[in-house]
Amino acid sequence: MKSIMYFLGMAFAMCCCSSKQEPVEAAAQSESEKDSNVNHFYSFYDFSKEDPGCEFSGFSGDESFGRWSSGDTSTIDLMTAPMAEFTARLDVHRIGTEGEPIEFDVLVNSEPVSHVSTNGHESVYVNVSKENVGADGSARLMLAFKNAAKPSKYNPESKDPRKLGIALSSVTVYGYSMK
């Protein structure tokens, strides 16, 4: 039954929120919709803005496409609803490993929830169960990169000293919680 409710909640959130993908001026936006026994929510964080609307660390400054992760770990602090199930969509613009996929683990509140391998230019989906969400609805996503690299590894003429993993454009959170 729990799996069915999770699937129905995610399907409802994805359908109801899919029209919210138009560009907006605000760096972050959130919506909540209440069903009889279910609260659905949606949040969007634009990493190309100076303030994407959430706390974060391990990322470089904003650029036109978003931000590069910098180093072996990056964190994104989200607030959801207490006891919420949610899916975080990470829009990966580019990767810092040329010719090989970037690999990273996603931990939520220090618990591993997903392993990702991507070549960039795609959306990566991370499903988070309510057991991984804090009692207050907090969810700290940690991206632990396996093969982040300095650009000089692939281009000896590069003067960029950063150790890059992914260029993140945005994070979208779709979720639900039971009343």
DSSP letters spanning 15-78: HHHGGGGS--SSSEEEEEEE-SSEEEEEEEEETTSSS-SSEEESB----SS-EEEESSEEEEEE
Q: Supply the CATH number for residue 100's domain.
A: 2.60.120.260
Which residue range(s) make up the domain with 61?
A: 2-20+27-178
**Whole-number Cα distances in Å, 162 to 114, 133, 134, 145, 151:** 25, 31, 32, 14, 8
User: How many domains does the structure of the chain reveal?
Assistant: 1
Length of the chain: 179
pLDDT tens, residue by residue, 89-116 = 999 999 888 889 999 999 999 999 999 9
pTM score, whole prediction: 0.81
Report the sign of the C-alpha dihedral through residues 45, 22, 4, 32, in that order: positive
pLDDT band at 15 (very low <50, low <70, confident <90, very high): very low
What is the Cα–Cα distance from 13 to 172, expressed in whole angstroms?
Answer: 11
